[in-house]
């Protein structure tokens, strides 16, 4: 690395965007927090933010749920990935969640200011 190796690793973010089936948004959010979040925290993920769109529960149309998690760098990301990717309970959770979703995305991101350091490997 050409940057200061003693500095903390740049934070990275895992973002789940789930479009719940009409009327199921609130229950899906509660289940995510009850069934998925505790294990994710144990894998080193920190839940930074939850957003709901539109900001009211709809019973005939989908709500979009957004969960933004942070991880302490790419090393922590791989730790999360290896543990979560081999946990059958995690796979069961996502199969259940997908059955209740119109669509789902998971993507990974960083602050623009951290991009250069993340790429300097």
Partner 1 sequence: MYKLTRLVTLADPGCLSTLADEARALAVAHAAYRTLIAPTLPGSHFGGDLLAHFAFNDAVQRADFDAALAPLLATPAVASVDGVAYRSGAGGKSDPGLADGVYRVLLLSVDEDTVPATTQRFEAETRMMPHYIPAIRNWQLSRADEAVGARRWTHVWEQEYADADGLMGPYMMHPYHWARIDRWFDPECPDRIVDARLCHSFCAMEASVL
Closest to partner 1 by CB, 113 or 119: 119
> DSSP character for 49?
E
Closest to partner 1 by CB, 56 or 95: 95
Whether the ω angle into residue 46 lies within 30 degrees of 0, i.e. cis, is no
| Residues at the interface with partner 1 (CB under 8 A) | 12, 74-75, 77-78, 81, 84-86, 90-91, 94, 98, 103-110, 115, 118-119, 121
Phi, psi of 23 (to 5 degrees): 90, -10
Closest to partner 1 by CB, 3 or 103: 103
Least distance between partner 1 and beta carbon 36 (Å):
10
- Greatest alpha-carbon span in the chain: 54
Least distance between partner 1 and beta carbon 59 (Å):
25
Instruction: Decide if 40 contacts 69 (C-beta within 8 A).
Output: yes
Separation between Cα atoms, residue 101 and residue 75, nearest integer Å: 30
* SS3 call for 33: helix
Closest to partner 1 by CB, 62 or 84: 84
Least distance between partner 1 and beta carbon 56 (Å):
26
């Amino acid at each position: 690395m050409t940057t200061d190796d003693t500095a903390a690793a740049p934070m990275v973010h895992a973002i789940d965007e789930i479009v719940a089936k009409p009327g199921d948004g609130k229950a899906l959010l509660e289940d995510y927090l009850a069934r998925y979040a505790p294990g994710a925290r144990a894998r080193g993920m920190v839940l930074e933010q939850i957003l709901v769109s539109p900001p009211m529960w709809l019973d005939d149309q989908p709500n979009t749920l957004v969960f933004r998690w942070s991880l302490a760098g790419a090393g922590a990301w791989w730790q999360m990935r290896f543990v979560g990717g081999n946990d059958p309970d995690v796979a069961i959770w996502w199969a259940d969640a997908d059955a209740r979703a119109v669509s789902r995305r998971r993507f990974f991101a960083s602050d623009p200011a951290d991009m250069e350091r993340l790429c300097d490997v």
